[in-house]
Amino acid sequence: MTVLVFLDPAYPQGRVADATAPTLMATDQGATRGDGIFDSMLAVNGKVRKLEAHLSRLVSSANIMELDIPGPDVWKAAITTALAEFRGTGTDGAGSAGAAAAAEQPHQDEAVVKLLATRGPEETKLPTCWIQVSAPSALGAQQRASGLKVMFLNRGYSSTVAQDAPWLLMGAKTLSYAVNMAALRHAHEHGNDDVIFTSSDGMVLEGPTSSVLMAHYEKGDDGTVTKRLITPQLDTGILPGTTQGALFRAAKEAGWELGYGPLVPEDLLDADAVWLISSIRLLAPVNELDGQAVGTAGVREQLTEELSALLAGIE
């Protein structure tokens, strides 16, 4: 079941819409041009994880796009309404979403919460903003458990594109995900689960829907252990990952050393462990990169377990 709640000045808590009925104007520029932004969050037991970080990234994306959207408090009110509907406790009057949730999914522990905003219909250019809540796919849990086969793909931009061509909107989470989805289809057609993009000058960037992490693990002769967690440089035009950022803060408190690129594909192949990380799938270990085994036997499993435990404690 999917719940939709639109941000509407006439409904301070958000307007619940029927997800099975037409709800978006055919002339909305989000549909006709992909002109809009979004952010995806995970809610556990009715509470969104890293809510402030996601709202901050939504605002950042809107600023890059020069898109005027409602303030955080308006989004928060609509999120509360949407989660209540999804969990079967909504009071939308029509009873459609809340009743369906109560009957079919009375004990939702996890939910995917999407915040979406478009430039609106061409004739009005007033932004269209809404919340979408749905159950997470089982594929994410499967990939966390079994790991991933990943391939490198050239994104076609240099690592300096964000500075050289700001009109390409690098670093904004836009609705224009056709290229990302095409990359995933290409990976699947070649027997892989996912992709790590590289720049035209050979730098490691990100996945189509994830951030890239790698780790080095060293045990000294005296028994001391050094663990270093590294992610690509953020100034290469990649999207700042909220989950990567939260994990870095937790890992630092747990004694990990941290680093930000620059990284090249050989760095990942030489690492003791590599992961793709996102708010919904969380931490998925990479087993193979371009057909080559990744990581050190036993160490990858140990580090994945340790970092997953840190992620579980992040609100």
Query: How far does Cα 33 stand from its chain's mean position?
Result: 22
pLDDT of residue 95: 43
The answer to whether 48 and 42 are in contact (CB under 8 A) is yes
The answer to whether 251 and 113 are in contact (CB under 8 A) is no
Place of tokens 């036993």: 298
Which two three-digit tokens encode residue 208? 């189509």
Map out the domains of the chain with their CATH numbers.
Answer: 3-136 (3.30.470.10), 141-312 (3.20.10.10)
User: What is the bridge-based pairing of β-strands 36-44 and 110-118?
Assistant: antiparallel
pTM for the structure as a whole: 0.88
Nearest Cα neighbor of 172 from 29, 31, 38, 34 is: 38
pLDDT, one tens digit for every residue, the chain (315 residues) = 899 999 999 999 999 999 999 999 999 999 999 999 999 999 999 999 999 999 999 999 999 999 999 999 999 999 999 999 999 876 544 444 444 444 444 444 899 999 999 999 999 889 999 999 999 999 999 999 999 999 999 999 999 998 899 888 888 899 999 999 999 999 999 999 999 999 999 999 999 999 999 999 988 888 788 999 999 998 898 999 999 999 999 999 999 999 998 999 999 999 999 999 999 999 999 999 999 999 987 899 999 999 999 999 988
CA Rg value for the chain = 20
| Residue 3 neighbours by CB under 8 Å, 6+ apart | 16, 19, 82, 85, 86, 90, 97, 101, 131, 132, 133, 134
